[in-house]
């Protein structure tokens, strides 16, 4: 395992934002980088890596703004867009709070795997700011070649009237 101790394995997640519909806007801030090395071996030399790595609960902040009023319904979809990603790895997202604002928010409070196509993440109505999201990478193993792996998480707001 001496060779492994000298190699850094990095997972890098960044965020990208899109907006659909008439008036509603979405913005996000935050990114996450994780360096995985020999210290992450479950039981020392000759063992496997921890399978899962989780960011801080407030790693990402999403703001939904420019809604027509507090009754303007919307949903946030999520997907990933790989830059350099290993097929054995998966990335998941979870909403950890409701942020603030005059509208409402629901769903998205369990980890959900981000795939290649848009999937509903959470929904709400009215403006919401600083909705926090936690990220998680799963599938880590010493059988995955050491490299820098990166993917972007894409959040899209859809006006559902």
The C-alpha angle with vertex 60 and arms to 56 and 62, in degrees rounded to 5, equals 145
Global pTM?
0.85
Mean pLDDT, rounded, for 118-129? 97
- Rounded Cα distance between 144 and 155, Å, is 28
51 Cβ partners below 8 Å, 6+ apart? 138, 139, 140, 141
Q: Which of 103, 86, 96 is nearest to 137 (CA)?
A: 86
10 confidence band (pLDDT: 50, 70, 90): very low
Residues 58-115 have pLDDT tens digits of 999 999 999 988 889 999 999 999 999 999 999 999 999 999 998 899 999 999 999 9
* 3-class SS of residue 52: strand
Mean pLDDT, rounded, for 35-49? 86
Q: Which pLDDT score is estimated for 40?
A: 86
- Rounded Cα distance between 121 and 110, Å, is 10
Check pLDDT > 60 for residue 16. no
Check pLDDT > 50 for residue 135. yes
25 confidence band (pLDDT: 50, 70, 90): very high
Q: DSSP characters for 56-122?
A: -TTSEEEEEE--SSTT-EEEEEEEEEEEE--TT-EEEEEE----BSSSEEE---S-EE--SS-EEEE
Q: Which pLDDT score is estimated for 15?
A: 40
Check pLDDT > 90 for residue 123. yes
Mean pLDDT of all residues in the chain?
86
- Rounded Cα distance between 90 and 78, Å, is 14
């Amino acid at each position: 395992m001496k060779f492994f101790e000298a190699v850094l394995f990095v997972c890098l997640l960044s965020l990208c934002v899109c907006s659909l519909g008439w008036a509603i806007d979405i913005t996000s801030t935050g990114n996450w980088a994780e360096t995985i090395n020999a210290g992450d071996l479950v039981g020392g030399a000759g063992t496997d890596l921890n399978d899962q790595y989780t960011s801080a609960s407030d790693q990402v902040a999403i703001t939904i703004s420019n809604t027509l009023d507090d009754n303007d319904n919307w949903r946030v979809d999520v997907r990933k867009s790989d830059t350099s990603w290993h097929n054995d790895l998966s990335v998941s997202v979870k909403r950890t709070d409701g942020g603030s604002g005059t509208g409402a928010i629901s769903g998205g409070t369990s980890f959900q795997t981000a795939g290649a196509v848009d999937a509903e993440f959470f929904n709400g109505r009215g403006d919401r700011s600083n909705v926090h999201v936690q990220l998680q990478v799963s599938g880590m193993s010493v059988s995955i070649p050491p490299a820098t792996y990166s993917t972007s998480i894409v959040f899209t707001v859809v006006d559902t009237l």
